[in-house]
């Protein structure tokens, strides 16, 4: 079994190697599954993410959700060792890069923690545990009650075996392109 840093490097390389047309098709499939998940059990606010480093780009699905009246919120890093905050965001609104290079709304309209979150995964296992970039932001966010519903977002090849840490929290469900 690879250690987490090795596994992260390998999964990032594999994600970068996806050809553009394949990635677009896979992202469309994942987006359709996200829409179906939300429609089956809607909430009041959906926490989404801005795609980084080859993560599935679900912005077309976000636009459909917003058009249907769903309130969306992007995560905001408030402090290095803290849970994420969330700022309301409407597709098409201006974003700026935060100190970590992550897009956040240019105008921060902070909201309560969303009742459901889309969580990007660098890797995931069969039990629903997520391998992220190692900052622990999502695990700290999910540790507080009441816990939001979570849907992990990844490509099927990112299924992996890795050690579970003391603070790792499994996601409720995963969605991939298959």
What pLDDT does residue 65 have?
A: 97
| Residue entry with tokens 């926490």 | 47
Once rounded to an integer, what is the mean pLDDT over residues 109-138?
93
**Res. 100 pLDDT band, cuts 50 70 90:** confident
Structural domains in the chain, CATH included, are 4-175 (3.40.50.10420)
Structure tokens at 97: 């890069």
d(CA 153, CA 122): 9
What pLDDT does residue 35 have?
A: 97
Task: State how beta strands 45-47 and 116-120 pair.
Answer: parallel
Q: Is 5 exposed, middle or buried (0-12, 13-18, 19+ CB in 10 A)?
A: exposed
**pLDDT above 80 (res 88):** yes
What pLDDT does residue 171 have?
A: 97
For 5-61, how does the pLDDT look when each residue is reduced to its tens digit (9 = 90+)? 999 999 999 999 999 999 999 999 999 999 999 999 999 999 999 998 899 999 999
């Amino acid at each position: 079994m690879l250690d987490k840093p090795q596994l992260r490097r390998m999964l990032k390389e594999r994600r970068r190697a996806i050809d553009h047309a394949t990635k677009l098709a896979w992202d469309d499939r994942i987006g359709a599954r996200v829409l179906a998940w939300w429609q089956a059990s809607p909430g009041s606010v959906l926490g989404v993410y801005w795609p980084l480093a080859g993560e599935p780009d679900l912005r077309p699905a976000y636009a459909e959700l917003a058009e249907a009246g769903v309130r969306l919120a992007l995560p905001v890093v408030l402090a290095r060792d803290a849970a994420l905050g969330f700022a309301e965001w409407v597709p098409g609104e201006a974003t700026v890069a935060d100190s970590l290079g992550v897009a956040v709304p240019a105008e921060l309209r902070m909201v309560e923690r969303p009742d459901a979150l889309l969580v990007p995964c660098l890797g995931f296992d069969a039990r629903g545990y997520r391998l992220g970039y190692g900052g622990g932001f999502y695990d700290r966010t999910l540790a507080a009650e009441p816990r939001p519903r979570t849907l992990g977002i990844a490509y099927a090849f990112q299924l992996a075996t890795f050690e579970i840490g003391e603070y790792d929290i499994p996601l409720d469900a995963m969605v991939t392109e298959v």
